[in-house]
Amino acid sequence: MSLTPNSPGERIYNGIVKENPTFVTMIGMCPTLAVTTSVINGIGMGLTTMVVLVLSNVLISLLRKIIPDSLRMPCYIGVIASFVTVVELLLEAYLPSLNEALGLYIPLIVVNCIIMGRAEAFAGKNPVIPSLFDGLGMGLGFTVGLVCLGAVRELFGSGTILGFQVMPKAYEPINIFILAPGAFFVLAILIAIIQKVNNTKAEKAALEAQQQRRQILQAAGLVAAEKA
Partner 1 sequence: MAGKLQVSSSPHIRSKMTTSKIMMAVVVALLPAAVYGIWLNGGHAAAVLILSVLSAVLTEFLYEKIVGRRVTISDGSAIVTGLLLGMNMPPQIALWIPVLGSVFAILVVKQFFGGLGQNFMNPALGARCFLMLSFAGHMTNFDVSGYAAKHIVDTVSGATPLANIKAGETGDLASMFFGNIKGTIGETSALMILIGGIFLIVAGIISWRIPVIYLATFSVFALIFGGHGFDLYYLACELCGGGIMLGAFFMATDYVTRPITVKGQYIYGILLGVMTGIFRIFGGSAEGTSYAIIFSNLLVPLIERSTIPAGFGIVKEKKKGGEAA
Give whichever of 73 and 192 is closer to partner 1, judged by the CB atom. 192
Residues 86-125 binding partner 1 (CB under 8 A) are none
Give whichever of 197 and 219 is closer to partner 1, judged by the CB atom. 197
From the CB of 160, what's the least distance to partner 1, in Å? 16
| CB 35 within 8 Å of CB 105 | yes
Give 159's DSSP letter: S
- Residue 193 interacting with partner 1 (CB under 8 A): no
How distant, in Å, are the alpha carbons of 31, 60, 64 from that of 132?
22, 10, 14
Residues 152-181 binding partner 1 (CB under 8 A) are 172-177, 179, 181
Name 100's Cβ contacts closer than 8 Å, sequence gap at least 6: none
Dihedral of the CA atoms 104, 137, 161, 181 (nearest 10)? Answer: -50
Nearest to 128 by CA among 68, 69, 59: 59
Provide φ and ψ at 177, rounded to 5°.
Answer: -65, -30
Q: Which of 7, 185, 198, 210 binds partner 1 (CB under 8 A)?
A: 185
**Residues 41-80, mask of contacts with partner 1 (x by CB under 8 A):** ----------------------------------------
| Sites of contact with partner 1 (CB under 8 A) | 172-177, 179, 181, 185, 188-189, 192
